[in-house]
Structure 1
Amino acid sequence: MKLDSKYFDKIRVKRGEERVTRDKHPPCEWPGCPKPGRHKAPKGRNQEGQFHSFCLEHVQQYNKTYNYFDGMKDDAVRDFQKEAQTGHRPTWKLGQNSSSMNAQGRRAKPGSFRDPFNFLGENGKEVNTGTARPLRNAELKALHTLGLDETATKEKARAQYKTLVKRLHPDANNGSRANEDTLKAVIQAYDYLRSTGFC
């Protein structure tokens, strides 16, 4: 293939790729090695985020002997591995009062708990504001199916359910099944309210 072109002779060629990459990397940190240190290797425990720069041959040699737990006793290694399961964050047994722990995982002093919105009141007990949780749309729809509004109580919903079942049941209508769909809707609505804890 012959490259005869008036443009070919004017093309500038960049420095060789090999030379550019060699300039970007520091020299290998292995004693007496003149090669570029293209490969990172961790420095070790208590030096997280710090790395040695080695050439390929020496990084392989370093990795064969690297031990993060070098110098630690077996019990300390087991404790470290156990704490690593929770990211070295404080934990407590189920049922213990986690709110009495401070950010360092130590027990907070009595009376040091902050309650900026006074949820616990003056004497430290929970304040009942008298407002129930807001109803979900599906709960409101179920109450409407029973002929009730959002102000209905559990007792009112139960009483209304019993009244509607007695009124709509085929036995109360000489065996007529005309109200069967309405009765099914009432039963489903009440079952839903029971499943959410409303009734």
Structure 2
Amino acid sequence: MASKQGKLHGRVEGARAHCAVPGCRAPGEYKAPLPAANFDGPGSWRFLCLDHVREHNTKYNYFEGMTPDEIHEAQGPLGGWERPSRKFATNGADPPPAWSDFSDPLDAISARFRGQARRGEAPNRFSKAERRALAVLGLGEDSDMHSLRKRYSALVRRYHPDKNGGDRSHEGKLGEVIEAYQLLRKSAAFA
């Protein structure tokens, strides 16, 4: 039995058998399902010629036996979505990251594959620029959002001229602290 699909949808090229309709000598190149009493498995097929498969298809009515309300529901935009579906297997891959942790979908996708590139390394939460910003604030990589805010507040009080008696010699350091905080507060590591 041949299995190659041709340009005509459903046609099985190279079928050797004749059409299953008695008296028809045309080659049976199209699979048509046999009516089953109850569905259990892939079903049974017979091979028909093009004319007989067209005749077979005109007799098929998906909505046969349905009430008008069931037909209306099946034709709606959500028709078929009420059926449960199985979860996709991860096939041993790491689970995907939570999309809500990222503002940009491309960041979420790259985060998933970033772990595969560095299999032996410990995962790093921060980029190079973020690690520099942590150093400016005097924080370690184990910091959380609460410790970031607390340290930022303390450094602003120390370096701001309004808080330190009008000493403007630390304005450069204050600018670095503000810039570092602005970078870190938007970091995915603190999301």
TM-score (norm: length of structure 2):
0.49
TM-score, length-scaled by structure 1: 0.47
Larger RCO (CA within 8 A; separation ≥ 6) = 2
Larger Rg: 1
